[in-house]
């Protein structure tokens, strides 16, 4: 299930995070909207995206072989 299809207040790290501290976390507290943050700065700024845009971004990254999130 893609992030953004259900609402959750839990931040989720990529399963591809290597434990090196360079992680992106995502949560979806409203249907069809999600927030992205830097795990090193949990109280810092957030970026907001419509869920469809985030899903398209992940698909493009996976197709291009840029590490496959």
pLDDT tens digits for range 28-46? 877 788 899 988 888 999 9
Q: Are 36 and 14 in contact (CB under 8 A)?
A: no
At 1 the pLDDT is 39
Q: In angstroms, how far is the first alpha carbon of the chain from the final one?
A: 14
Residue-range domain boundaries for the chain: 12-64
Reported confidence tier of residue 47, pLDDT bands at 50, 70, 90:
very high
Instruction: Specify the DSSP class assigned to residue 48.
Output: E
Q: Are 39 and 25 in contact (CB under 8 A)?
A: yes
At 28 the pLDDT is 84
pLDDT of 6 > 90? The answer is no
């Amino acid at each position: 299930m893609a992030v953004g299809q259900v609402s959750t207040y839990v931040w989720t790290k990529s399963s591809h995070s290597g434990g090196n501290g360079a992680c992106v976390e995502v949560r979806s507290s409203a249907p069809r909207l999600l927030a992205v943050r830097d795990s090193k700065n949990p109280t810092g700024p957030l970026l907001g995206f419509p869920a469809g845009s985030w899903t398209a971004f992940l698909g493009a990254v996976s197709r291009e072989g840029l590490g496959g999130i």
